[in-house]
Chains A and B, each alone.
Chain A
Amino acid sequence: MLKVTETQEINFSAGLIAQFDEIVKRYPQGKQKSALLPVLHLVQAEYGWLSPSAMDKVAEYLNIQPIEVYEVATFYTMFFLQPQGKYVLEVCRTGPCQLVGSDKMMTHLEKKLGVKEGEVTKDGLFSWRGVECLAACGMAPVLQIGPDYTYYENLTEDKLDTLIEELKKK
């Protein structure tokens, strides 16, 4: 069972609801559950993670049971069920990336940020984790940062340092 760390109630803004409405129109009548993944992406982009309250509100909006949202949110690895750093650095750790040094990149991140995989830095800015193949093997090693999922390719330790400094200044 998942532990709940926050129970603050969430109410979606009218703007966000309008975006949901647009998405639901893509599917046939009565198949609004299809909107679940795109809607969850929007919610996560807005709040940084999916709290139980947010998921319950999504269920209410799509007229489905809350468990149907939990089942989906816990299945897909892109959804965060705990609060994260403002920037989540997701480093590809699979095959081709590993052949050209993704392990080194993760060791470097751990040292540079001073937190272990999955933890958040004290300033709340960063967390990092290894993820499976990001389909950018030709530009390995790579990492991505949500919610826009911008890619940073052909990584080196220097490039990581520069990236972190730039993000801090933002």
Chain B
Amino acid sequence: MARRLLFEHINVPGINTFDVYRQQGGYRAVERALKSLSPDDVVEEVKKSGLRGRGGAGFPTGMKWSFLAKPEGVPRYLVCNADESEPGTFKDRYLMTHIPHLLIEGMIVSSYALGANTSYIYVRGEMMPQIRILEKAIAEAKAAGFLGKNILGSGFDLELYVQPGGGAYICGEETALLESLEGKRGNPRIKPPFPAVSGLYGCPTVVNNVESIAAVVPIVNEGGDEYAKIGIGRSTGTKLISASGNINKPGVYEIELGVSVEDFIYSDEYCGGIANGKRLKAVVAGGSSVPILPANLILKTVNGENRLMTYESLSDGGFATGTMLGSGGFVVLDEDACIVRNTWNFSRFYHHESCGQCSPCREGTGWMEKVLHRLEYGHGTMSDIDLLVDVAKKIEGNTICPLGDAAAWPVASAIRHFRDEFEWHVTHPQEAQKGNYGLAHYADPLPAIAATV
């Protein structure tokens, strides 16, 4: 049985309340940090843990913390990014719904480490129920003396507030989130300066994902070294994976990084296999932004090794044959799923969510959606496929924020791996309206590596 650090007590009745959470050992990390560790000690533990940002980019959290500027007399802020909007990702919602005090505890410890006396949790506006849950949890924690002035007699003060978003995926980008928190449109800022130097209200700021903040709790409780023992190589600890799509058991699973993708999809501990007795066609492994892979490439790397749920193994082969762990939004597509339709759907999402600030993304996302719509509805041409590749290339890397890349990658990868299916939509427009291309050769064993090198 895999170790669970965040969800160890998730099934204990009433764990969403302060009392039960406390009985299960909750807020020990606050006690340990505030009573026996200096802020720098906490940062050091997080560094040692090897924890990487769980929001998608995978940047080492400890290193991000150590970049925070600390000018005299200027307040510093910690902002938790709970704007979870990446299609396929719903782990933060799950965590906040069922074990809100874990996030609150993580916020207290992290704020202490960073020297922040006011911290905000920016929650997407659609999660109004979770906002109410968090507000209640904050009130409980405050009543118990874990928030407010002079927490546990340590001299450390902290006020924690929940801020609702308004419905904009782009606010998951940290500088757009800060703009939104300042009451503005969620236009990402042009960097530099980075938030570590000039963030919220121009003050040094750290923005971390919900899961990253929550992971600080077991790291402080058990020590960074212990945490780092879990996982493989630079993929340390446990990760929440949101599993959805055509599987028997959709849901949020806490895995030890290093589980094989095959086990994750087929074992009863996790997804329990493909629903309705169908066969696996493709997987989007880390949220809609990451490249989609066909069944054969998601289960094995191009070298014939088992693909594992780690940052490194999923990205093995680069974008030619690999993908990314991203935010852990694991979307499974069965043999009946239409890749063209799925790609169009994702591109409609990015078109809808583009902030419109910079031209390649504003114009390019809409263009890609229109071409994909035409292909999906049987009016496409062969040249449309190359056009899409080219437009994706012109967006990628040329935008202010990563939304441009996020819009380009799914389109480019779908065509890279499923070109036959796109061409079939052009050559068989009527059939494509009624049926689908099916599994084709997408699960066939990969050719031996010797032939290609």
* A contact residues vs B (CB 8 Å cutoff): 26, 28, 31, 33-38, 40-41, 62, 64, 68, 71-72, 75-79, 93-96, 98-100, 131-140, 144, 146-151
- Binding site secondary structure of chain B: mixed
**Which residues on B sit within 8 Å (CB–CB) of A41?**
125, 128, 164, 166
Within the complex, the shortest CB–CB distance from B265 to chain A, in Å, comes to 15
Compute how far the CA of A131 lies from the CA of B250 in the bound complex, rounded to whole angstroms: 21
Q: Verify A95–B288 contact, CB threshold 8 A.
A: yes
Interface bits B327-365 vs A (CB < 8 Å: 1, else 0): 001010100010001100110010011010000000000
How many interface residues does chain B have, given as a range?
35 or more
Known: A95-B331, A133-B349. 13 other contacts (CB 8 A): A40-B166, A64-B183, A68-B184, A75-B355, A77-B167, A94-B346, A95-B345, A95-B346, A96-B245, A98-B345, A133-B87, A138-B90, A138-B244
* B contact residues vs A (CB 8 Å cutoff): 75, 84-90, 92-94, 118, 120, 124-129, 159, 161, 163-169, 180-186, 201, 242-246, 250-252, 284, 288, 329, 331, 333, 337, 341-342, 345-346, 349, 352-353, 355
Compute how far the CA of A33 lies from the CA of B181 in the bound complex, rounded to whole angstroms: 9
Q: Verify A135–B85 contact, CB threshold 8 A.
A: yes
The count of A-to-B residue pairs whose CB atoms sit within 8 angstroms is 156
Compute how far the CA of A95 lies from the CA of B333 in the bound complex, rounded to whole angstroms: 10
Compute how far the CA of A95 lies from the CA of B330 in the bound complex, rounded to whole angstroms: 11
Q: 8 closest pairs, A vs B, by CB?
A: A76-B166, A78-B167, A36-B183, A137-B244, A33-B183, A77-B167, A149-B128, A138-B250
Q: Verify B333–A75 contact, CB threshold 8 A.
A: no
**Which residues on B sit within 8 Å (CB–CB) of A140?**
244, 250
**Which residues on B sit within 8 Å (CB–CB) of A131?**
167
Q: Verify A94–B89 contact, CB threshold 8 A.
A: no
Q: Verify A138–B87 contact, CB threshold 8 A.
A: no
Identify the closest chain B residue to A140 (Cβ): B244
**Which residues on B sit within 8 Å (CB–CB) of A79?**
166-167
Within the complex, the shortest CB–CB distance from B295 to chain A, in Å, comes to 15
Within the complex, the shortest CB–CB distance from A142 to chain B, in Å, comes to 10
**Which residues on A sit within 8 Å (CB–CB) of B85?**
132-133, 135
For B87, B126, B341, the residue with the greatest tally of chain A CB atoms inside 10 Å of its CB is: B126
Instruction: Supply 17 A–B pairs (Cβ within 8 Å), ascending by A.
Output: A33-B183, A34-B163, A37-B125, A37-B180, A68-B183, A75-B185, A79-B166, A94-B349, A99-B246, A99-B342, A135-B93, A136-B90, A137-B244, A137-B245, A138-B251, A138-B252, A146-B128
